[in-house]
Structure 1
Amino acid sequence: MISETLLEAEQKFVRSGVIGVGGTCVQAAEATTDELSGRTVENALRQWESGHTEFPHAAVAAHYQTVGRHGVRPHLVAMLRNFHLDNRAHHVLGAWLPMTFDAQNGDYLSYVGLDYFDQVVRFDDAQRVDAFVAAAGMDLALLEARALGRSAHASQVVRARAATRVVTQLDRIAPDFALDPAVAAAGLAALAQPCADYSSFASVAAEALNGVPDEIGSAVRLTLLPTTRLHDEQMFIRCIQIFEGLYRQVATAISTAIRELRRGLTAAAKERLDRASIRLEAVPALFRVLTTMPVDAFAIIRGFTHGRSAVQSRAFREVEFACAPLDPRDFEHAGRIDIGEDTLQDVYLAMRKTHPDVRVVEESMRRLDRAWVAMKRGHWGITLKVIGTVPGTGGTAGASYLKHAATMSLFPRLSEVA
């Protein structure tokens, strides 16, 4: 259960009058009494229950974005739980509805919406994953531009610029999605102005976001279900979702490179690993957004999401398990993953003795290692800034755990053949 102290701290943020960074979300600030009370969404659910309409996904998501998962009235939560029991066979409702009643017992997967993601986006389709990542990036920028339009305080200006910069990097973060170059150009034009008007950029980005496949756009809209009314949590969820997409693409690149090496396709393996590195080398743009998180805001979010740790990310662990054998102590907080094949390091070292041409892959492996370690160091640095040295979630030791993780190479035995 959430403590009264934590609820009071969230209430203080919401009543501060600040919209955006360090304050309430735009949806809560603009909501009507009926939207805040849940009457609007309850009426929509009753209509669906009587068979008159399609399930009101958008209305439910909008209510959760307005009041947070912990602010939804218990009888509405009970309705949604019952709907899930009756519709578990429906692959979309069955995967999405649990996000609406997991406030007390949810995990990282349900927080980010990964089960729903698997059903709709599919982790094994690089173009669809990148479409989701690009859409999440544009939605992040639009979220911050909208907040800036309501409250142009200094912290919100910094956040809006950082989020816009993410969009200008989408050709590196999500290269398998053909984003209209006009979107990045509009972002760069806005960033070039000291006192930028983001309305033109927002218009271009919104049009591009509407152009993604319908089911991808729906997945982006419906997986933003924060636990609080804090604007910062909506940013936080979007960033986590983008990272999840990146992890999945990197893990897929590594497993594919292993198969290509075995088939003697060294040039293809090298190119695949280099493309994965390019994605990771663009991560600092995301970190700039995350560093705008106020410490006291994150303390509240962390309290509401305790136990939902990114250490539970399967895609992240798949990257490290696919690269080299791990010491059991290195995954004591997350559990082992069986990748079902030899690691990239094993395959490379075995082939290096008999296939000299495979050595062209080594520099690409080292580049990937540098990019991955740099990303983990960035995570460690943000953790020190935002939560300090207090214990972490998921059973970890917090910043000290991340510091140790940041020193771990993806390919420790490459130093033997340097």
Structure 2
Amino acid sequence: MTSPDVLHRWSAQRRPPIDRFPYDAVVTAYQQHGKHFVPDAWTQALTAARNRIAHLNGGDSRYLSTFLGCALDKTDGRFDYRSYLGLALLPIPGPDQTPGAAARQLVRRDRLHAQLLIDLIAFELRSAYDELTALPQMRPTPAVTTKRLRHALRAAMPALHRMSFVDDASASSEIDLLRRVTAAVNLDLTDDDRRALQTSMLPVHTMHDEWMFIRVLQAFETTFALLASDLTEIITAVQAGRTPAAATRLSAAASLLRESASLWPLMATIQPAAFHAFRPYTDGASAIQSRHYKILESLCRRPDNQRLHSPAYLSVPEVHTAITQGQVSLDDALDAAQQPAAEDPFLAASMREFTAAITQWRQTHYRLAVRILGPDRTGTGYTQGTPYLNDARHEPVFRHNPPTTRDVGGNA
């Protein structure tokens, strides 16, 4: 087991060098014990380190402060979904309205999406051959590992192809392809990328499957962030009268959402017994707190008052505030333009396409939750669990669903 002595030595320096903070030792300790069970000696040493850097400024100290906030979230009583997943430590795409932003944001999403999944693949491969790999409890059988690797690779391939990282046609076998994509992504990693992958893996327990659980949720959040940014630009295009551009962008968003659904078969490889072992220690961190998903949902249409003032949105107060202060949704923009979606068959088609994609995503989420939790089990973070998901999957995506092709005079 690692000792916090290295952390004490770092803190004892007259001016602790931010670029030499012992991330390796801290992350190793957290993965050896699990965040919920990490010894007090570590949390006390981390608290002392945080106090030492409180007066420092600069990008590196801000990142370290963010990391310490995630590491000490349970100690501070601030453990939630964002700190559990270390979302603030990852280069998740955000709003950007500069020329060419859409293409750059997709590249950022693809790089991070691929990095998260390749990290999972590398972890599974290491665990299969090395008993000393982190999170040793309840390792899956070889058959489950093989299935997990296959689904992780399948979920990563579209992004890898867009980045021209791999030619799967030249691979002699699946394991050869796994090694090739792992090598290609690792060669592309910057020092900042490596640090982000390292620091964003602070599981609460030592169950093997929690690594996969965290990486899949992080990958979903990366896509939701990009889609929320896309919706903002789509609304701007509608407001400017550029409905063809809005329709094209919305159709692309639907395609990306359908593509991300390939993460569900990967998540389905989780061992229920392993999930139930670490799940109690995630109380306080629930996907209901997903800020990116709620932004995405609320940019399609303003939630009705019952949902807006329920835990669904009260769990994300900054999103709730934005809505109550007049955030414009796509429905609002179409109403203001006095242009029903039906008047533009391309926009109507893209809205139907996006509705189908998000509805399917919700349905799959619900079915998987029922299979793992049961139909009446509460969720993490004191939420209603599967009953909540059952209600949420029936929420309309847009206030006025676009009519079918037959309704607007086309051929169905």
TM-score normalised according to structure 2 size: 0.81
Aligned counterpart for 2:121 among listed residues 141, 148, 153: 141
- Point out where structure 1 has 5 or more consecutive residues left out of the alignment: 1-35, 192-197
Q: How does 1:213-232 map to 2 (within 5 A)?
A: 213-232=190-209
Is 1:201 equivalent to 2:201 in the alignment? no
1:355 & 1:155 partners in 2: Cα distance?
46
User: Partner residue of 1:66?
Assistant: 32
1:355 & 1:367 partners in 2: Cα distance?
13
Secondary structure of the residue aligned to 2:74 is coil
1:303 & 1:78 partners in 2: Cα distance?
24
Q: Is the 8 Å Cα contact of residues 224 and 237 (structure 1) preserved in structure 2?
A: yes
Deviation at 1:357, TM superposition (A): 6.7
Which amino acid letter does the alignment assign opposite residue 387 of structure 1?
L
Aligned residues: 367
User: Partner residue of 2:385?
Assistant: 398
Which amino acid letter does the alignment assign opposite residue 119 of structure 2?
D
1:255 & 1:71 partners in 2: Cα distance?
41
User: Partner residue of 1:43?
Assistant: 6
Structure 2 CA distance for partners of 1:78 and 1:190, relative to 1, 3 Å: farther
Secondary structure of the residue aligned to 1:326 is coil
User: Partner residue of 1:5?
Assistant: none
Is 1:312 equivalent to 2:289 in the alignment? yes
Which amino acid letter does the alignment assign opposite residue 234 of structure 2?
A
User: Partner residue of 1:254?
Assistant: 231
Map Cα deviations across residues 41-74 of structure 1 (whole Å, 9 max, x no partner): 5325524643477111233223222321123221
User: Partner residue of 1:275?
Assistant: 252
Which amino acid letter does the alignment assign opposite residue 215 of structure 2?
R
Q: Is the 8 Å Cα contact of residues 145 and 202 (structure 1) preserved in structure 2?
A: no
1:368 & 1:134 partners in 2: Cα distance?
23
User: Partner residue of 2:330?
Assistant: 344
Is 1:412 equivalent to 2:399 in the alignment? yes
Q: Is the 8 Å Cα contact of residues 334 and 341 (structure 2) preserved in structure 1?
A: no
Is 1:294 equivalent to 2:271 in the alignment? yes
1:269 & 1:415 partners in 2: Cα distance?
15
Q: Percent identity?
A: 26
Structure 2 CA distance for partners of 1:78 and 1:274, relative to 1, 3 Å: same
Which amino acid letter does the alignment assign opposite residue 397 of structure 1?
Q
Q: Is the 8 Å Cα contact of residues 114 and 159 (structure 2) preserved in structure 1?
A: yes
User: Partner residue of 2:352?
Assistant: 366
Aligned counterpart for 1:82 among listed residues 27, 32, 48: 48
Aligned counterpart for 1:108 among listed residues 81, 84, 88: 81
Is 1:131 equivalent to 2:111 in the alignment? yes
Structure 2 CA distance for partners of 1:121 and 1:215, relative to 1, 3 Å: farther
Which amino acid letter does the alignment assign opposite residue 396 of structure 1?
T
| Range with greater deviation from structure 2 (68-77 or 207-216) | 207-216
Is 1:382 equivalent to 2:368 in the alignment? yes
Structure 2 CA distance for partners of 1:43 and 1:416, relative to 1, 3 Å: same
Deviation at 1:305, TM superposition (A): 0.6
Aligned counterpart for 1:166 among listed residues 137, 151, 155: 155
Deviation at 1:272, TM superposition (A): 1.3
Q: Is the 8 Å Cα contact of residues 253 and 354 (structure 2) preserved in structure 1?
A: yes
Map Cα deviations across residues 72-129 of structure 1 (whole Å, 9 max, x no partner): 2211111112212332452111111111122353111110112333xx5552362434
2:222 & 2:38 partners in 1: Cα distance?
29
User: Partner residue of 1:56?
Assistant: 22
Structure 2 CA distance for partners of 1:353 and 1:157, relative to 1, 3 Å: closer
Deviation at 1:350, TM superposition (A): 4.0
User: Partner residue of 2:68?
Assistant: 97
Aligned counterpart for 1:324 among listed residues 296, 301, 304: 301
Which amino acid letter does the alignment assign opposite residue 103 of structure 1?
K
Secondary structure of the residue aligned to 2:337 is helix
Deviation at 1:386, TM superposition (A): 0.8
Is 1:157 equivalent to 2:146 in the alignment? yes
Is 1:181 equivalent to 2:144 in the alignment? no
Q: Is the 8 Å Cα contact of residues 66 and 88 (structure 2) preserved in structure 1?
A: yes
Q: Is the 8 Å Cα contact of residues 93 and 225 (structure 2) preserved in structure 1?
A: no
1:263 & 1:361 partners in 2: Cα distance?
14
Structure 2 CA distance for partners of 1:355 and 1:230, relative to 1, 3 Å: closer
Q: Is the 8 Å Cα contact of residues 121 and 128 (structure 1) preserved in structure 2?
A: yes
1:199 & 1:149 partners in 2: Cα distance?
16
RMSD, aligned CA: 2.6
Secondary structure of the residue aligned to 1:181 is coil
Which amino acid letter does the alignment assign opposite residue 276 of structure 1?
A
Deviation at 1:390, TM superposition (A): 1.1
Which amino acid letter does the alignment assign opposite residue 395 of structure 2?
M
2:287 & 2:231 partners in 1: Cα distance?
21
User: Partner residue of 1:17?
Assistant: none
Deviation at 1:355, TM superposition (A): 9.6
